Amino acid sequence: MIPFANFTFFGIMLYAVVPTVLLGNAGRAGRRWAFFITLLYFIAQYSDRLSVSAYLSVPNILIAGGYAVFQWLVATLFLQARLQSKSNKRFYVAFLLALAPLATAKFLPLACPGVEFGFLGISYITFRILDILFCVQDGLIKELPGAQFFTYLFFFPTISAGPIDRYRRFDGDWKSARSREEFLFDLDAAIERTFRGFLYKFILAALIKRFWVDHATGGSVGQILSYMYGYSLYLFFDFAGYSAFAIAFSRLFGIRTPENFDRPFLAHNIRDFWNRWNITLSFWFRDHVYMRFLLAAMKGKWFKNDQTGSYLGFFLSFGLMGLWHGTALHYIIYGGYHACLLTAHDLFVRWNKKKQWCGTSPAWRLAAIFLTVNLVCFGFLIFSGRIGAPTE
């Protein structure tokens, strides 16, 4: 049961939504209710079996449940060790242990074809557990209650494709008690985003795919360009629609999951684009990979100038982002492509400060938006794997 993938899912969710509205109207739809619904969804979501190989199948709930217990032990043991002394070695051990299940799920099929491991949402859940470990290492988390930890990791609206929440932000919502007025405000926001989600995902994205993308299958330049633009629009409306649903249901249960999109096709440069597209993912990599790498490079004086560290940070961050999407070559190239764009943009900005070649007039801004959109759409063409793939 993939969240928000079809109308059957919304029909099933009425069993949770209706009592939530009734409880919220009475000012009682709090964190205990969010934990209870998340636990019920967890049981229903992972009630099937995973075919690990042709000869072995395992109940999915055992894998997901074992993963939750394992990650809680890793985080709590690291927290206890961190409260006693700050040790980078312990952080690295905890980090590698927390990352191991996702690495296994990604690379085991490559090493042993036909063998699979993992469960729905393991990629996004891994981001959440790593965020906890970073916060523990920074001394920002002092306790990890089991119910809150579980709900944060497996919060059902965001389990399969985000948005990626942060533990400290989630903690504020978890500990706050909603009044009836606050619930009605969240309910209004949930309804608005739900309608937006239906418009984006089930109308616009579906129409674009059916009447545009699915017909742009030829190998000519015109057909590839048509596919590039159609696929880019489809990807946006499908993903933004999903995010709208995720945010809507989160608000209903008292969690104000952050927005994931902000008119990305109006971005006037590639840096601005990543401040607007899949915001929670790009900010996660910015804060936990790029900035930490840059800070370590500056402290250790690894490079003669900060720009070198910054550019290598781009390639590290987007290389990992590409690898996180998948081990196929086109995902790795996609990450490297955006790292090149960000590097080129920074070099151009530095050059333009001296030359004053580009102005700030509306014409220049429109030209910048046009160029950015086309560069981004070409990146999505790489991401799709269409380049080099056989065509009809």
Please check whether residue 79 is in contact with residue 85, taking contact to mean a CB–CB distance below 8 angstroms.
Answer: no
Q: Is 345 a catalytic residue?
A: no
Handedness of CA 227, 232, 235, 240 (dihedral sign): negative
Taking only Cα atoms into account, the Rg of the chain, rounded to an integer number of angstroms, comes to: 22
Cis peptide before 163 (omega within 30 of 0): yes
| Residue among 215, 268, 325, 338 flagged as catalytic | 325
315 burial via Cβ count (<10 Å: 0-12, 13-18, 19+):
middle
297 burial via Cβ count (<10 Å: 0-12, 13-18, 19+):
middle
- Residues designated as active site: 325
